[in-house]
Structure 1
Amino acid sequence: MDRLVYTAMTGARHVMEQQATVANNLSNVTTTGFRAQLDSFRAVPVVSEGLQTRAFVVDSTVGADMRAGPIQTTGRPLDVAVRDQGWLAVTSADGSEAYTRNGSLKVSDNGLLQTQSGLTLVGDGGPIAIPPDTNISIASDGTVSAISNDFKPGPANVLGRLKLVNPDTKGLVRGNDGLFRQTSGEVAENDPAVRLVDGALEGSNVNAVDSMVNMISLARQFEMQMSLLKNAENNAAKATQILALS
């Protein structure tokens, strides 16, 4: 009887955790450059001194859906979208290098090129400083140029080049801050083949319809697991009655 209880109990628990994952994906359906989180179930035997006759369910995080999201034109000079595969390198809050697809950029009060959340972009020579009173343009190869707003503007001045990387997605893991890092802890090398689309942003790759269908399916799975627990309880009660009569 406890074989059924182990499976149904842990199955119900992890269905609830997957519901939280789907809800998080749905809440980020409009987040720029968001990558949907993927989960899966797997069975694990209960290790004990006796025979491995019991098993329980665990929810293993597969990773993230690395498919590119739709590119939406904004016309804003500081908006860039990574074309196909690749990442923008940023400096995270703890000072380490991390990677994102969110190309909505701004100039900080200190004149540094940053993301809208305040993360400094990594350039080929460090952070990229933007002079005041200039118009910024970002080329497809990540080159950042500035043109003066004076009455007689001169030629564009190259300020630096964004660090664009394309590490193996199997070696990337999402952190609690939503940024991706290499599981090895190493810094990814600059990839000159990565290209940007200026004046555009990449949308989330979460499919709202598929996520809603998945949420309904998980709700039905939870009801099934609870029904199994109730059946196990009824069977145990009837078995107790039979033993009492005998």
Structure 2
Amino acid sequence: MINSLMISKTGMQAQQTKLDVISNNLANVSTTGYKRATALFEDLMYQNLRQVGANTSEQASLPTGLQLGLGVRTVATSRTFTQGVPQQSDNALDMAINGNGFFQVEMPDGTTGYTRDGSFKADAQGRLVTNSGYPLTAGITVPAQAQSVTISGDGVVTVKLPGNATPQQIGNIELANFINPAGLEPLGQNLYAESLASGNPTNGAPNSTGMGTLMQGYLEGSNVNVVQELVEMITTQRAYEMNSKAIQTSDQMLQRLSQI
């Protein structure tokens, strides 16, 4: 009877964790380039009270055993890197990746961060930086006298300068891709870091093999489906209630036992 209390407790903890993940998805439904996360579960160890296949006599063995499970635990949160819907913006420096790949930005400690958020701005030096001020590793600087900026689908950045009818190339944007993007470590601020699970990055120009194309003047929306999250929330609530009901039932049975 005590086992049922602990088993139901693990079930409630697992569903609470799932609700936390769903809440974070809903909170980031409008976050540029956000990728939906999913809680993954696995069952805990079993009490093996009767070994399957054990001999009951010289010529007979058990076709089934007696194993009692001890509950569930949250083992991981997995991100789904499906394409978000591109949304048009009014900023010529905004970019969306249509396909695979990540923008590469330079972190304050000198490491490289990876992001799907293409909402870039020009800082005081004209460098293309994220909303947090981290510059692109390509080191692209827009001249102060530039009249317009054009970013092609394959990452070539050109500007139009006064008195010059021919656009001037000022750099190339390079993307990075991973064998296992779900293994990237989320850092917050729409950034990810390379990990052992993600593998080493493969760099390449946009629109090259395995890389998506750039869309100037667009931002990639979150891939969170609000209806799907609400359905998952209801399912999680019902599962939490069933586990709490199992605890109440176990408690009532213990009370009845104490009255005998």
TM range (shorter): 0.7 to 0.9
Aligned match for 1:112, one of 127, 135, 153: 127
TM-score, reference length from structure 1: 0.87
Counting only pairs closer than 5 Å after superposition, residues 1-246 of structure 1 correspond to structure 2 as: 1-45=1-45, 53=68, 55-123=70-138, 127-134=139-146, 135-148=148-161, 150=162, 152-170=163-181, 172-177=183-188, 178-184=190-196, 188-192=201-205, 193=208, 194=211, 195-242=213-260
* Secondary structure of 2:84 counterpart: coil
TM-score, normalised with respect to structure 2: 0.82
Identity %: 27
2:78, 2:182 within 8 Å by CA — same for their partners in 1?
Answer: no
SS at match of 2:240: helix
1:132-178 per-position Cα deviation (integer Å, ceiling 9, x unaligned): 12122211111222222x2x234222211112122113563232324
Q: CA deviation at 1:198?
A: 1.3
Separation (CA, whole Å) in 2 of partners of 1:96 and 1:222:
42
How much does 1:187 deviate? 5.1
How far residue 105 of structure 1 moved from its aligned partner, in angstroms, is 0.8
Amino acid at match of 2:253: N
Q: Which moved more, 1:25-34 or 1:69-78?
A: 69-78
Distance 2:12 2:199 in 1: 38
Gaps of 5+ in 2: 52-66
CA gap of 1:98–1:72, structure 2 versus 1, over 3 A, is same
Kept after mapping to 2: 8 A contact 1:3/1:54: no
CA contact (8 A) 2:80 2:182 kept: no
Q: Tell me the amino acid that sits aligned with residue 192 of structure 2.
A: F
Q: Deviation of residue 199 (structure 1)?
A: 1.4
Report the Cα distance in structure 2 between the residues aligned to 1:212 and 1:94, rounded to whole angstroms: 39
Structure 1: stretches of 5+ with no match in the other structure: none
Q: How far did 1:76 drift?
A: 2.8
Q: Deviations over 1:206-233 (max 9, x none)?
A: 0011111111111111111111111111
- Note the alpha carbon deviations across 1:191-210, whole angstroms, 9 max, x for none: 23221111111110000111
TM-align CA RMSD: 2.3
Give the distance between the partners of 1:236 and 1:90, measured in 2 at CA: 59
**1:171 touches 1:182 (CA, 8 Å); kept in 2?**
no
One-letter amino acid of the structure 1 residue matched with residue 166 of structure 2? P
Runs of 4+ in 1 over 6 A off after TM superposition: none
Q: Partners in 1 of 2:21 and 2:155 — Cα distance?
A: 34
**In structure 2, distance between residues paired with 1:223 and 1:179:** 36
Cα separation, 1, equivalents of 2:109 and 2:246: 46
Question: Number of matched residues?
Answer: 235
Letter matched to residue 141 of structure 2: A
